[in-house]
Amino acid sequence: MTIELKEGERLDDLQRNGYRIIQREGKFRFGMDAVLLSGFVQVKPRETVLDLGTGTGIIPILLEAKTQGRHFTGLEIFPASVDMARRSVALNGLEERIAIVQGDIKEAGSLFAPASFDVITSNPPYMTGQHGLTNPDLEKAAARHELLCTLEDVVRAAAKLVRTGGRFYMVHRPFRLAEIIRTLSQYKMEPKRMRMVHPFADREPNMVLIESVRGGRPRMTVERPLIVFEEPGKYTAEIQNLYGF
Of 216, 185, 191, 243, give the one whose Cα is nearest residue 36. 243
pTM for this predicted structure: 0.91
Is 4 inside a domain boundary?
Answer: no
**Nearest-5° angle of CA 170, CA 163, CA 157?**
50
Domain containing 48 — which CATH number?
A: 3.40.50.150
Mean pLDDT by 10 residues, the chain (245 residues): 81 92 80 94 98 96 97 95 95 97 95 98 76 54 59 96 98 95 97 98 97 95 97 94 85
Query: Is 35 inside any structural domain?
Result: yes
Res 45: pLDDT:
97
Q: Is residue 1 part of a domain?
A: no
Domain membership flag for residue 163: yes
CA dihedral of residues 32, 37, 40, 45 (deg, nearest 10): -130
- Within 10 angstroms of residue 26's Cβ, the number of other Cβ atoms is 8
CA dihedral 182, 185, 190, 195 (to 10 degrees): -10
One-letter amino acid at 152 equals E
What's the total number of domains in the chain?
1
Write down the pLDDT at residue 145. Answer: 43
Q: Which domain holds residue 161?
A: 9-243
Q: What are the pLDDT digits (tens) for 186-243?
A: 999 999 999 999 999 999 999 999 999 999 999 999 999 999 999 999 999 999 999 8
